[in-house]
């Protein structure tokens, strides 16, 4: 199949977003916006780095790549509208595989009425997918990391460490008999917390970050950007019952540093806590209070972990860092 029939095969016949004027088929796409702020994010997904043909089927590659991008939109409070896909395709990949990759993206996109409005197609050595997502928020209603303040409550959605546990199970087949499907699904088909984040709109201020590298990393990002200290309670970090079958050392490693769970963490003023609870209830999202924020100068920009025995220690960024050698 040549590039043109490939593009034709993935092209949507109709579009769901009313703001679209020109979708796939010209030199660029056009959409019109008057009243809302536009939010854009991009992520890249590379064979051998983020996945192998052992850890993911083509369908999961597409699903997971778009999910990671949508998670970034969720962390800004945005409503997803469009996506563009640049793909480098090795010769060994079949048309059926490519179709599955796009099907994975399309199935997830459908949940949010998103339209595929462009991209680029080249051949390459490793399968590489780079997706750009575009969404909207009401004027001045995007959530930023630098807005966390003294006495805020720290919260997180879902459970942490599942994705890494799923990855571990895929690589060690037949050794675990509990929650295998759940954990592997958390790795291959994570749920971006768009619906939950959209319900936060009435709140005056939320500092929000999505967990792609591990909460140790993301909590530090909020602490640094806001010049505050995030205090977390080790025993309140939510993990699934299935994670408990692994040795404690792995549980700890995965819940703090595992990443790729694509849950949301953030801070809100105490007075707005009930609104967060309402959003969680309405969207059937698990929500946990995991700590508080302080502005004491000696811990500024840091994350302090509290244990049941009153011991405290600094939680440093140790998540996945692609540039670290
Ligand atoms: P040009 O040469 O003008 O850049 P292309 O031939 O690359 O145009 O693309 C034609 C149309 O198909 C454009 O609308 C482009 O955005 C879209 N397109 C190309 N590759 C992809 C892809 N992998 N996924 C989605 N849309 C694509
Ligand atoms: Mg092109």
User: What pLDDT, on the 0 to 100 scale, is given for residue 320?
Assistant: 53
Give me the half-sphere count of Cα atoms (radius 13 Å) on the Cβ side of residue 172.
11
237 lines ligand 1 (CB under 6 A): no
Both structure tokens of 239: 């993990």
Which protein residue has the closest C-alpha to ligand 1 atom 4? 27
CA 190 to chain centroid: 8
Q: Please identify, by atom number, the ligand 1 atom nearest to the C-alpha of residue 4.
A: 6
Torsions phi, psi of 23, nearest 5? -95, -140
Task: State the distance between the two ends of the chain, measured CA to CA, in whole angstroms.
Answer: 40
Question: Is residue 120 within 6 Å of ligand 1 at its C-beta?
Answer: yes
For residues 23 and 103, the answer to whether their CB atoms sit within 8 Å is: no
How far, in Å, from the CA of 22 to the mean position of ligand 1? 12
121 lines ligand 1 (CB under 6 A): yes
Q: How far is the CA of 123 from the centre of ligand 1 (A)?
A: 14
Nearest Cα neighbor of 65 from 84, 39, 40, 37 is 84
Domains of the chain and CATH, by start: 3-138 (3.30.1330.10), 145-314 (3.90.650.10)
Give me Rg for the CA atoms of the chain.
20
Q: Is the CB of 8 under 6 A from ligand 1?
A: no
Residue 25 tokens read as 């088929």
pTM of this structure: 0.94
Ion ligand 2 nearby residues (CB, 5 A): 120
Cβ(68)–Cβ(212) under 8 Å? yes
**Ligand 2 midpoint to CA 85 (Å):** 11
Q: Which residue in 196, 75, 232, 78 sits closest to 145, CA to CA?
A: 75
Nearest-angstrom CA–CA distance, 68 and 73: 9
Exposed/middle/buried for residue 69 (C-beta within 10 Å: 0-12, 13-18, 19+): buried
DSSP H helices in the chain: 3-10, 58-76, 95-110, 162-171, 180-188, 194-198, 215-226, 248-257, 273-282
Whole-number Å distance between alpha carbons of 16 and 39: 18
Tokens of 62: 């597409």
118 Cβ inside 6 Å of ligand 1: yes
Residue stretches of the annotated binding site for ATP: 102, 119-120, 145, 212
Cβ of 7 below 6 Å from ligand 1: yes
**Contact call for residues 277 and 199 (beta carbons, < 8 A):** no
Whose Cα sits closest to atom 19 in ligand 1?
A: 120
From first to last of the 325 residues of the chain, give the pLDDT tens digit: 788 889 999 999 999 999 999 999 999 999 999 899 999 999 999 999 999 888 999 999 999 999 999 999 999 999 999 999 999 999 999 999 999 999 999 999 999 999 999 999 999 999 999 999 999 999 999 999 999 999 999 999 999 999 999 999 999 998 988 999 999 999 999 999 999 999 999 999 999 999 999 999 999 999 999 999 999 999 999 999 999 999 999 999 999 999 999 999 999 999 999 999 999 999 999 999 999 999 988 999 999 999 999 899 999 997 555 555 5
Cα–Cα distance for residue pair 287/265, rounded to 1 Å: 10
**Dist. CA 20 → ligand 1 center (Å):** 16
Query: Ligand 1 pocket, 27 CB below 6 A?
Result: yes
For residues 107 and 241, is the Cβ–Cβ distance under 8 A?
A: no
Which pLDDT score is estimated for 176? 87
53 CA from centroid of ligand 1 (Å): 26
* Beta partners for residue 128, in sequence order: 46, 88
Q: What is the pLDDT of residue 4?
A: 86
- d(C-alpha 264, C-alpha 112), whole Å: 18
């Amino acid at each position: 199949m040549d590039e043109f029939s490939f593009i034709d095969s993935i092209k949507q016949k109709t579009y769901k977003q009313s703001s679209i004027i020109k979708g796939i088929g010209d030199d660029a796409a056009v959409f019109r916006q008057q009243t809302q702020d536009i939010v854009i994010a991009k992520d890249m997904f590379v064979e051998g780095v983020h996945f192998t043909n052992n850890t993911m089927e083509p369908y999961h590659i597409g699903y997971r790549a778009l999910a990671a991008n949508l998670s970034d939109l969720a962390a800004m409070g945005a409503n997803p509208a469009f996506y563009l896909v640049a793909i480098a395709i090795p010769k060994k990949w079949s048309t059926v595989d490519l179709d599955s990759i796009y099907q994975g993206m399309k199935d997830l996109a459908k949940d949010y009425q998103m339209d595929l409005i462009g991209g680029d197609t080249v051949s390459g050595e490793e399968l590489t997918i780079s997706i750009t997502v575009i969404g909207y928020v009401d004027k001045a209603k995007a959530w930023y990391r630098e807005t966390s303040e003294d006495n805020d409550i720290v919260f997180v959605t879902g459970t942490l460490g599942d994705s890494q546990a799923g990855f571990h199970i895929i690589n060690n087949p037949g050794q675990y008999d509990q929650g295998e499907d759940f954990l592997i699904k958390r790795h291959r088909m994570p749920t971006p917390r768009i619906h939950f984040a959209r319900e936060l709109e009435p709140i005056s201020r939320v500092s929000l970050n999505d967990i792609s590298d591990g909460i140790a990393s993301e909590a530090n990002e909020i602490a640094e950007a806001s010049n505050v200290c995030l205090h977390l309670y080790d025993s309140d970090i939510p993990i699934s019952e299935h994670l408990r079958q692994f040795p404690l050392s792995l549980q700890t490693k995965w819940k703090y540093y595992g990443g790729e769970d694509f849950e949301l963490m953030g801070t809100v003023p105490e007075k707005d806590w009930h609104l967060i609870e309402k959003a969680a209830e309405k969207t059937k999202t698990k929500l946990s209070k995991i700590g508080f924020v302080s502005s004491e100068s000696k811990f500024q920009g840091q994350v302090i972990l509290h244990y049941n025995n009153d011991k405290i220690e600094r939680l440093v960024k140790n998540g996945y860092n692609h540039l670290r050698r």
